Amino acid sequence: MNRDAVQTPLIEARDVTRILPGAVPVTLVADVDLAIGRGEFVAITGPSGSGKSSLLYLLGLLDTPTAGEVFYEGRPVSDRSAEERAAIRLAGIGFVFQFHFLLEEFSALGNVMIPMRRLARLRRAEMEARAKEILASLGLAKHMHKRPDQLSGGQRQRVAVARALANDPPLILADEPTGSLDTHASEQVFETLARVVEDEDRTVVIVTHDLDLAARTQRRVQIVDARIVADERLGG
């Protein structure tokens, strides 16, 4: 992992503010500057309602800043069309959420193939082979033909991680991926994400309330009242 990767950011927010309009406007993110490089494992922490997930959605191009700019691979996102932004999300960013959002009618294998089908870069046999390889690498080789309701919570969430990896994105964004899991399953999912960084040099940004898990990442960004109040390098 490149500890100096932040010098050449993969994803960056510059003076980003997000205000939810309404009779009483709500500031979700305020004046945020954050640069994250390739191969980093970053935890975003803070109290409930502080703006953690809002910032993650801005970094993931799921939301648009009210002010400021988000850059992906050094290029501003605001000058790109909706189709270009969607293409970045599909090919360049993998998402993992607190709830797995797997499609119940598909097997684990079928769920992992969905993003590849949308991207349409591979033939079906190639998609299936890649999905099997990813699932096997996450310890799910014996479970790939099971439907989500036949898997444990930790297994479902690891399938969600596999789906996020399907199109080989350099960036994985995870919003409370262990929030609904017990201690053992949480550890499995966290170790899976850590391995993605360590073995594949991907960037993983995880929003979490679990300070013990956050302390095991490389870098912790703390948000309070929509603003970054601390950004520290750790020993992870």
- From start to end of 25-84, where are the E strands? 26-37, 41-45, 67-72, 75-76
Chain-wide mean pLDDT for the chain? 91
Residue 121 zone, left/alpha/beta (φ > 0; ψ -120 to 50; rest):
alpha
* Cβ atoms of 186 and 210 closer than 8 Å: yes
Lowest mean pLDDT among 11-25, 131-145, 178-192: 178-192
CA distance 9 to 180: 31
pTM: 0.90
Per the structure block, which two tokens stand in for 133? 């390889």
Instruction: Quote the pLDDT of residue 1.
Output: 46
Q: Decide if pLDDT at 21 tops 80.
A: yes
Q: Residue-wise over 60-77: b if at least 16 C-beta within 10 A, else e? A: bbebebbebebbbeeeeb
CB atoms within 10 A of CB 123: 9
Residue 236 has pLDDT above 80, yes or no: no
Pick the CATH number of 5-233 from 3.40.50.300, 3.40.50.150, 3.10.20.590, 3.40.470.10: 3.40.50.300
Q: What is the pLDDT of residues 23-60, one digit of tens each?
A: 999 999 999 999 999 999 999 999 999 999 999 999 99
Mean pLDDT of 99-113: 92
